[in-house]
Amino acid sequence: MHRISRTAVRATVGALITAGLAIGFTTPASAAASSSAIVDTSKTRAGEAFFNRSKAGSHSGKAWIDLYDAKCDAHSVYVEYRINSGGTKRHTNSGGCGTTSGVNLQTGYFAIVYRACVDVQLGGDPCSKWVADHN
């Protein structure tokens, strides 16, 4: 019978946990998202917007955006979005670091562009690139 040392088992379990965190298990909203936009400040993730296509039985059948505040920096995050080339709308998550806030959009087919931003009170707001998707 082949014996495996406790140290080897611990190293393997640690590597699996680290790999799980690296691929995004820390933000549950990402599992169902169609696409996402990430805004970084000081080279670390500050916020992320997840676009979710409509599903029967979820969010009244409407598409939605989840907005995650990833950084404990005293700045709110917001998402700007345009549906079918219409006017720009904004949804803010001011719940603080580690919180997610959602906004229901609409049903049926539509094109959307959106980006995640950090609300810097006395300065320019850093934003992700615009992301295009559709429902």
Q: Which residue has the tokens 């080897």?
A: 8
Q: Which residue has the tokens 């970084």?
A: 40
pLDDT values of the chain reduced to their tens digit, one per residue, 135 residues: 455 555 544 444 444 444 443 444 444 455 568 999 999 999 999 999 999 999 888 898 999 999 999 999 999 999 999 999 999 999 999 999 999 999 999 999 999 999 999 999 888 999 999 999 999
DSSP lists the bridge partners of residue 116 as 79
For the chain, domains (ranges, CATH) are 27-134 (2.60.40.10)
The span from the CA of 124 to the CA of 131, in Å, is: 20
From edge to edge, which strands make up the β-sheet containing 111-118?
89-93, 77-83, 111-118, 131-134
Q: Which residue has the tokens 């680290």?
A: 18
Contact 66, 50 (CB under 8 A): yes
Question: pTM of the full predicted structure?
Answer: 0.76
